[in-house]
Amino acid sequence: MEKKRVLFVSQEISPFLTKTEVSNFTRRIAQSTQEEGKEIRVFMPRYGVINERRHQLHEVIRLSGLNLSIDDQDHPLIIKVASVAAARMQVYFIDNDDFFKRKKILHEEDGACCADNDERSMFFVRGVLETVKKLGWQPDLIHCNGWFSGMMALYIKHFYKKDPHFKETKVVYNLFNEGFDQPLDPRFHEKLKFDGFPKAVLEKSKETDFISFTKLILEHCDGVTVAEPNLDPALRAIFDEASILKQDYINEEHEAKAFSAFFDRVLDASVVTN
């Protein structure tokens, strides 16, 4: 039987950044999913704070060079890769000087969210999808970790809806308490309009606070999981109301088999209501 393919997309992954709930979880679940017999690929942004020499990142020339248009501006896509020897897996990095060269992750030095985080996220998720196409690797399921990866659901269900490479791909979003406390750019919906998103999505994307953004993402997912034991009440309410396949928090000692089994449930579901 052919192995099921799971694409892990995360805003952070250990050991490339300071350990956080998102980075630690993504590292664990990607590794355990591979050990459970599934084929995986792993992607994250190549933030400027990542030490390329220490982690031995190198550019993959055959995958780089494509220009992606975000808000009617072209940005070159650069792909890098590094290995996590202990986990026997590779991590691909989405890079671009306009979005990721700066020495920060998602916040400025004063604590404010980067003003272009919406465009950075759009570039990131599109860069991931274009790269797996170049790899000739068709994911059966995409597991999104961290809000920065959430727009993947929008692009799979709309922008890439007619792309045969992703016609059967399911999307699962993993809820973390970490979000953003300042709204995204008020022009966010205009940028989605440039990418041809339908009116219904554009209307809902005018509300750019974290909770509204999360609701919009989950409306386009096939499943939702919970990564933390004490989920924020507002996120808990969204989780409880979601009409998609759901998996609540699982203790770390049991999460490997539980997540692998949940991915199977999502993939085996004949009809999932979004």
| pTM exceeds 0.75, yes or no | yes
Question: HSE of 51 in the Cβ direction (CA atoms, 13 Å)?
Answer: 7
Residue 202: pLDDT band by 50, 70, 90 thresholds? very high
* Mean per-residue pLDDT, 123-132: 98
- State yes or no: pLDDT of 87 exceeds 50: yes
Measuring CA to CA, which residue among 104, 95, 140, 85 is closest to residue 17? 104
Q: Would you state the CATH architecture of domain 5-39+117-267?
A: 3-Layer(aba) Sandwich (3.40)
> What's the confidence (pLDDT) of residue 161?
94
Residue 270: pLDDT band by 50, 70, 90 thresholds? low
- State yes or no: pLDDT of 263 exceeds 80: yes
CA 179 to chain centre: 13
For residue range 55-80, list pLDDT tens digits in order. 999 999 999 999 999 999 999 999 99
Measuring CA to CA, which residue among 6, 15, 9, 97 is closest to residue 51? 15
Alpha helix stretches (DSSP H) within the chain: 21-35, 52-55, 97-100, 117-135, 151-154, 188-194, 199-204, 210-218, 233-241, 252-268
Residue 48: pLDDT band by 50, 70, 90 thresholds? very high
Beta bridge partners of 7: 41, 142
> What's the confidence (pLDDT) of residue 271?
44
Residue 182: pLDDT band by 50, 70, 90 thresholds? very high
* Mean per-residue pLDDT, 220-243: 97
* Mean per-residue pLDDT, 188-204: 97
